[in-house]
Amino acid sequence: MKLSPIEYGSGFPALLRKEVKRFYKVAFQTVAAPVLTAILYLMIFGQVLEGKEMYGRFSYTAFLIPGLVMMSLLQNAFANTSSSLIQSKITGNLVFILLAPLSNVEFYAAYVLAAVVRGVVVGLGVFLMTAWYVTPSLEYPIWIIVFAFLGAAILGSLGLIAGIWADKFDQLAAFQNFLIMPATMLSGVFYSIHSLPPVWQVVSHFNPFFYMIDGFRYGFFGVSDISPWLSLTIVGGFFIVVSAIALRLLYTGFKLRH
């Protein structure tokens, strides 16, 4: 595959459509199940900690909803690309995609955009269902959209990297269980980092997922643990790094051309 931009008449639209239809056909599993999981988190944590105020004026349930939306969005964006690629490798039909008239950029863009679509659909579903409990304010919708797109694109890229690296489902599960899951759960979804001991506040600043969650939450409340511009800079830089790694792996054909 050549490293060239998306061209009219290429196989990019077909691959994107295939990846979107892949999760749409099993929406009960890929969309409904994550929404239900988020609702259970809200019911449990919201009930236990409802009396707690966040940022001095927001209920804990209202604070929790944006975190659950973003966590669901991130995890499902990762799952979409990683599961699709590992399934194609194991079943052997990846060769037909590699033989198609696709450049590296088109291959990358199709998988990642499909991951963004799934992540946004799940996130929107979580928001609509949890809004029955408390409807959080929407102070800066543009910030919400920017961080949602960047977060989904980053996790879609990480899913692509994991899918290329893994040779079997066990390796992919290890990548998700020991990297993606801890990073999202410890990113401030359920708490403000200011409630942590100083040493753990410092550790949290080395977690790029924290900046995705905090910047996304800023779009709802207009307040955050750190400057949203700093979060945007770090998240944007992280996106460039993971995108470059994914494109490099595609360019070299690592674990794909054999």
Over range 149-165, report the average pLDDT: 97
For 6-61, give the DSSP string: --TTSSHHHHHHHHHHHHHTTHIIIIIHHHHHHHHHHHHHHHHHTT-EETTTEEHH
Confidence at residue 216, expressed as pLDDT on a 0 to 100 scale: 97
Please say if the pLDDT value at position 8 is more than 90: no
Please say if the pLDDT value at position 1 is more than 60: no
121/76 Cα distance (integer angstroms): 10
Picking from 3-12, 215-224, 226-235, which range would have the lowest pLDDT averaged per residue?
3-12
Confidence class for position 251, pLDDT limits 50, 70, 90? very high
In percent, the amount of the chain with pLDDT more than 90 equals: 72
Please say if the pLDDT value at position 34 is more than 90: yes
Confidence at residue 157, expressed as pLDDT on a 0 to 100 scale: 98
202/224 Cα distance (integer angstroms): 16
Residue type, 202: V
Confidence at residue 49, expressed as pLDDT on a 0 to 100 scale: 73
* Higher local confidence (pLDDT), 82 or 50: 82
Confidence at residue 131, expressed as pLDDT on a 0 to 100 scale: 83
Coil vs helix vs strand at 196: coil
End-to-end C-alpha distance for the chain, whole angstroms:
14
97/84 Cα distance (integer angstroms): 12
The closest of 209, 208, 207, 214 to 229, measured between CA atoms, is 214
pLDDT (tens digit, 9 = 90+) per residue, 170-185?
999 999 999 999 999 8
Q: How many CB atoms lie within 10 A of CB 211?
A: 29
Tokens 């236990």 appear where?
A: 48
Confidence class for position 9, pLDDT limits 50, 70, 90? low
Please say if the pLDDT value at position 191 is more than 80: yes
Confidence at residue 77, expressed as pLDDT on a 0 to 100 scale: 97
Please say if the pLDDT value at position 78 is more than 80: yes
Confidence at residue 96, expressed as pLDDT on a 0 to 100 scale: 87
DSSP at 102: -
